[in-house]
Amino acid sequence: VRVCVCNSGKYLLTFAMKDKDAVRLWSPRGEPMGTINPGALEAYNVVLSPDSRFISIATMQCDAKIWEVGTDKDGFGFKGKAMELAGRTGGSGSAGHASAVHSVDFGGCSPANLVTDSSTAATGSKDGTCKVWNIAVRYRQNEDPKCILTVEQPDKQPISKVAISRGKIAKYLATWSATAGLVFWGLPSGEKLSVVGTEDT
């Protein structure tokens, strides 16, 4: 079981890969706030956005779903699913992954900044690609996140870990696979900057 505390300190979550309700939200006093069932047999990774507003889970499905936590007329709490980094690549013209998403990460500013923001996300997949998404969309009006960049791991093997740099504008992306090792990419161009082989990590 993994435990994560959000940057705002308003909630924490527990994550279990084999649990049907993979993510459980709790108040700092230990009061249950809700559960998230990602709708998959297995979940690989969970991440909180820097502004504590979003939670995303990477699963054996070819998308990553994003849920929202925040304040409304009913007070602070779990608000439900907000959007999906989704779509199986194919005739529909969607920009999603062709296989399971193994890792997800959020860009954005941390609470150390006066204004926090989470406008980008990255997903790494079994299909050997990493995608960067613009999530600064009107999701309450059913506007979908937009894939703004796709990079392919040099060995074309499954990407098991992905990380995107913090800041108002993300400048770097990192991906990891078993044979290529750690690959650094520049944003927004997608230029491959350097590779740290597995023997050096």
Q: Output the pTM of the full model.
A: 0.87
pLDDT score of 89 = 45
Within 10 Å of residue 37's Cβ, how many Cβ atoms?
Answer: 12
Q: How far is CA 64 from CA 28, 96, 99, 101, 122, in A?
A: 27, 10, 11, 7, 10
Helices and strands counted in the chain (H then E)? 0, 16
pLDDT score of 62 = 86
Angle value at C-alpha 57, between 34 and 41, nearest 5 degrees: 90
Both tokens of 23, joined, read 């993510």
Within 10 Å of residue 76's Cβ, how many Cβ atoms?
Answer: 14
pLDDT score of 59 = 83
Both tokens of 39, joined, read 């709708």
Give me the mean pLDDT over the 156-182 stretch. 91
Amino acid occupying residue 56: S
Distance CA 91, CA 86 (A): 14
**pLDDT tens profile 45-97:** 889 998 888 999 888 888 888 999 887 777 777 888 899 887 544 434 457 89
Give me the mean pLDDT over the 12-33 stretch. 84
